[in-house]
Amino acid sequence: MPGVRYIVEYIRKWWMLLTLLLIFILPFAIGASLIYKSWPIISGSVLGSALFGSEWMPIQGKFGLWPFIVNSVIITLTGLLLMTPVCLAAAIYITQFAPLWVRRLLRTVIDILAGIPSVIFGLWGIITIVPIISGWAVRAGAENATGYSVLAAGMVIAVATIPYVLNMLIELFEAVSMELMETGLAMGASKWQTIRDVIMIKIRHGIIASFTLGVSKAFGETIAVLMVVGNVIQIPKSVFDSGYPLPALLANNYGEMMSIPNYDAALMLSALVLLVIVILFNYIAHKVIGHYHLKSS
């Protein structure tokens, strides 16, 4: 019946539009709720001292977030530096050099790693990473030789984020037409030269996007980082120093001492700052991706 078919199609169309609208509104709703909850600090004269202050003493009304912001950026960038060569090398080997049975085995291992809870990575970091870094710190003569440090947090973040980034990179390399490889080889280039100078140039905007999503996930890692970072409020002078990133601040303190004036607003402001950092990073990465996409087109 044409009438029934028209009604069904109409309902399907509006159902899809409503779900799309929900996805579009969700980030703005989250941001608006955080702004509303942190408004007592945003609207007051203490916003500057909250964003750039270094003292975190809620009882005295001091809510300096600068050490937490710096630690979040340092830990995330450390994880990015550690995971970038690993992810690229692994993706190239799996898609271009590995035999079929090895490829299937590695894909299974990657999927298993992606499903491991964050707390397991944190426990593994305490058992394995922290003692290793403690030994390095002792040999380097560092002040903090406990091993609980921003370096430990960066390494745990890198391991926890690798499966997500690696899966995206593998899909990118597998989507490249084999004609590109054959063309490069026919022109006398080696296989590695073709991968480096043809394939990776072709998909570089996708590579940047993959690492952008990985960094966004790394910024929000909480439990694993909290367990190995040391949770000391300071700006680290070396990678062996302990730190205290924004997600750990929220996980450790939200729900406690809410009778203190502006304490809840300060924590909501820290969540808003974290959201803004992720948005800014994604915006910059989007501009870079657009630049390379235009150059390759």
Note whether residue 14 is domain-resident: no
Note whether residue 283 is domain-resident: yes
From residue 151, how far is each of 133, 165, 195 by CA, in Å? 8, 20, 32
Cβ neighbours around 120 below 10 Å, total: 12
Q: Quickly list H helices, 115-260.
A: 118-124, 130-140, 150-175, 178-186, 191-194, 200-202, 204-220, 223-228, 246-253
pLDDT at 177: 64
pLDDT at 224: 87
pLDDT at 252: 84
Note whether residue 148 is domain-resident: yes
Note whether residue 30 is domain-resident: no
Cβ neighbours around 131 below 10 Å, total: 13
pLDDT at 47: 81
Note whether residue 15 is domain-resident: no
Answer yes or no: are the C-beta atoms of 227 and 120 closer than 8 Å: no
CATH (domain of 101): 1.10.3720.10
Note whether residue 2 is domain-resident: no
Answer yes or no: are the C-beta atoms of 80 and 212 closer than 8 Å: no
pLDDT at 130: 94
pTM above threshold 0.75: yes
- Structural domain harbouring 119: 38-296
Q: Using alpha carbons only, give the angle 124, 127, 129 rounded to the nearest 5 degrees.
A: 75
Low-confidence ranges of the chain (pLDDT < 70): 1-3, 177, 255-258, 291-297
Pairwise CA distance, residues 62 & 44, whole Å = 13
pLDDT at 10: 79
Place of tokens 């994604």: 282
From residue 273, how far is each of 100, 150, 249 by CA, in Å? 45, 20, 12
Note whether residue 33 is domain-resident: no
Place of tokens 């899966």: 167
Gyration radius of the chain's alpha carbons: 23
Answer yes or no: are the C-beta atoms of 235 and 66 closer than 8 Å: yes
Q: Is 166 exposed, middle or buried (0-12, 13-18, 19+ CB in 10 A)?
A: buried
pLDDT at 131: 94
Note whether residue 219 is domain-resident: yes
Reported residue count of the chain is 297
Query: Total domain count for the chain?
Result: 1
From residue 5, how far is each of 8, 11, 17, 46 by CA, in Å? 5, 10, 18, 60
Answer yes or no: are the C-beta atoms of 141 and 240 closer than 8 Å: no
Pairwise CA distance, residues 204 & 26, whole Å = 30
pLDDT at 285: 78
Q: Is 243 helix (H, G, I), strand (E, B) or coil?
A: strand
